[in-house]
Amino acid sequence: MTPNWLLAGALLALFGATGFSQVRALAPVAPRLLSESGLYAGKGTRVVDRRNRAFAPQYPLWSDGAAKRRWVRLPEGAPIDINNLDRWDFPVDTRFWKEFAFDGHKVETRFLWKVSDHGWVFASYAWNDEQTEATLVPDSGLPDAAAITDGKRHSIPSVMECRACHDSARTEVLGFNALQLSDDRDPNALHAEALAPGMVTLRTLVAEGLVSPRRTGLASTPPRIAATAPDTRAALGYLSANCGNCHNRESSLASLGLSLTYELNPSASTCAPALATAINRRGHWVVPAHPETSRIINPGRPELSSLIARVRSRRPLSQMPPIGTVVPDHKAVELLTRWVAAPPEEWMQLAARCAGS
């Protein structure tokens, strides 16, 4: 019997993107088993198919300390449209996988598959105790999938929760963009993973003609966060990866006026949006003990900075990010506290840069 995912692929090839969107209801698009998704080289093996390329974003998303592995498969002969450096347009049949493990035990693998010009399939798979197979999780997710620490447990998110972040800036793919794949890696990036031989980087994509237009400057002068202080660069990178997916200029939260995504487009201001929209801004959530002096970022006053308070919190009504984590990122709190507590002259330079942009 033909697996559902193969049937879906056949429909995609037969009808094209538009026709496929009309007939996809004939069969589930996401396969029931991870082994049927195309991640592995064949049935009964856990060797990753050579067409699936590993990568590691330089600013990883905090997921309660999970160890992660990631792969991408691009359809042959169909490059990524990178006309907009901050929002890449992936070809139909692009696939991503992300594996989560705690204490060396694989817990879940997430699958993202572009099935039409504007349609993506989101799926999560829970690994069995024998670590031999992972099975599709219901759209509603799987709570308490694995123990983490101190009575905390990891839950596999629902499709709705996945889309809450992945659709928030009208781009479904997170962690695979010009800044995240830049070969100019931030040595102070939190939880950074070393690049292993064969991993895809921006230079790889340019050299192999996997992006269009083929901007050779991205390889010769790879993008980086403009900052004179190492803590500023690391902090802006962390906020962009962990908060900017929702707090940006195009999401449903844009009306809040807080944008934490670091932008690379030539039209972008020389002042990072995180600085322009957070420094000395009151915000909609204030530090409870100091409502009058609370600011999103209060230069020199970490204890009066609501951004730090929310990253530290794991109370449902105040924690940030609001989903996907049950354990505070203590290293992030330390970095952000140290950054906000920087000497006044550093903040004066940052303020002057924003004032003149």
| Series of mean pLDDT values for 10-residue runs along the chain (357 residues) | 42 44 52 97 92 98 97 97 93 97 97 93 96 96 93 92 73 90 98 95 97 94 94 97 90 88 76 92 94 96 98 94 94 98 87 71
Classify residue 38: in a domain, yes or no: no
Residues 251 and 210 in one domain: no
Q: Which of 155, 187, 220 is the last residue of a domain?
A: 220
pLDDT at position 162 is 86
Compute how many other C-beta atoms are within 10 angstroms of the C-beta atom of residue 160.
12
Classify residue 125: in a domain, yes or no: yes
Q: Which of 178, 202, 220 is the last residue of a domain?
A: 220
Residues 196 and 128 in one domain: yes
Residues 293 and 215 in one domain: no
pLDDT at position 18 is 45
Q: Are the CB atoms for 21 and 29 separated by under 8 Å?
A: no
Classify residue 171: in a domain, yes or no: yes
pLDDT at position 349 is 83
Residues 209 and 64 in one domain: yes
Residues 216 and 239 in one domain: no
pLDDT at position 29 is 80
Q: Which residue is it, tokens 């993107």?
A: 17
What gap in Å lies between CA 154 and CA 142, rounded to an integer? 9
- Number of domains present in the structure of the chain: 2
Residues 238 and 319 in one domain: yes
Q: Which domain holds residue 177?
A: 51-220
Query: How many alpha carbons lie under 13 Å from residue 332 in its C-beta half-sphere?
Result: 29
**Burial of residue 85, with CB atoms counted within 10 A of its CB: 0-12 exposed, 13-18 middle, 19 or more buried:** middle
Report residue 34 CA to chain centroid gap: 21
Classify residue 321: in a domain, yes or no: yes
Compute how many other C-beta atoms are within 10 angstroms of the C-beta atom of residue 234.
24
pLDDT at position 166 is 73
Residues 246 and 176 in one domain: no
Q: Which of 168, 202, 220 is the last residue of a domain?
A: 220
